[in-house]
Amino acid sequence: MPRMTTELPLKYGCNPNQPTARILFDGPDDCPLTVANGSPSFINALDGLRGWELVRDLKTATNKPAAASFKHVSPAGAAVAGELTDSFCAANFYPAPSEHGYSPIAAAYAKARSSDRGASFGDFIAVSETIDASLAKLIKPEVSDGIIAPGYDDDAKAILAAKKGGKYVMLQIDPGYAPASGSAESRTCFGLTLEQTYNDAVIDKSLLSNITTDKKELPDSAAESLLVATATLKHTQSNSIAVAMDGQAIGVGAGQQSRIACTRLACDKADRFMLKQHPKSLALIGLFKDGVKRPDKVNAVDQFVRYHELDDIERGGLLALLSSGPDPITPDEANDWCANFGDGQLALSSDAFIPFRDNLDRAARSGVKYVVHAGGSARDDLVTDAANEHGMVMAMSGLRLFLH
């Protein structure tokens, strides 16, 4: 069958001073990617394609609609569909479930963006399902650069195409497309081309079968969160650690040179996610002065949950947004809240083996009870001993997921 090359022009490369950029597709069929609106840049295209790979893997792993919020080729958040609570919506400045009527894919994106709303500012969205009006209305007020999806219904397309003065980037991809088995991918670095086999590793429950700890019981909800965390890491710049609960990656630590740095980042983000639903954080939301915009409120709540770490200048900036002084969360209150949040269902995944117990010691402080890592280190027994000390259930997947 004759092959043809399709070219999709891009607005520019990684930076505006790199004016020549394009997507090329060589094959016997039509290009699986089309531009439904706007003019994507090189980074938009990378975030869109990486995000699509992630939501595709999430849906395969869980059989649920999935969404991801991408920034600079790593996910700020990722999640599968699930019920939203009033406190979750209030903490993340979403309309209450009784007011909005969240479709499954809208709920998945609400969860994905809430993982780290600050990092998701100006995100590129990926969703596994056709975009409906419920999701489009949720996206409309958010600062976002674009979205990729398998389709758009008419109402959703009209809502999103009006964003950013009509320039909102909307990509559409054929959900049936997949790279051919064993196909290669390449990149050019310093004028030299590097090539490798495409990573088609499947994320499924078989990765959780080798449980090495004394505790063996792995509830379905915890298994789902481990799979969500692991699929997220497959598409996150290495080194990386992800913490998840309720089918949502609530803390992603990416691109660090040491694994403990990844773990600290992921757990710190998870702590902030959990603390935003603390009663004192919810009370703060009622103290904002009139006219404070939502992005400023998002950043202020993120500061508030770290109130004891702020210097006088930072505290002054926060207080300037409020009508009265807040009641800060004490360090002891924060530790107690995180340790008991989510009924002990926090799960952690690592994109390679965990080399030292300090990773699990830090994870335990955030309430992590379930862990999966590749294994294969000379210190596997010591890490397993640490998991036993913390009462964790830990599996070794045998699968490394580095991405560079």
HSE, side-chain direction, 13 A CA sphere, residue 121:
8
Closest CA to 91 of 250, 297, 276, 321: 276
Of the listed 44, 59, 64, 71, which one is catalytic? 71
Active site residue 239: yes
Active site residue 72: yes
* Tokens of residue 46, six digits: 């990378």
**Whether the Cβ atoms of residue 228 and residue 62 lie closer than 8 Å to each other:** yes
**Whether the Cβ atoms of residue 25 and residue 6 lie closer than 8 Å to each other:** yes
Residue identified by tokens 């000390």 is 389
Torsion (CA) 71, 74, 80, 83 in degrees, nearest 10: -50
Of the listed 11, 72, 100, 215, which one is catalytic? 72
Closest CA to 231 of 66, 369, 379: 66
Of the listed 239, 369, 373, 390, which one is catalytic? 239
Residues labelled as active-site residues:
71-72, 239, 404
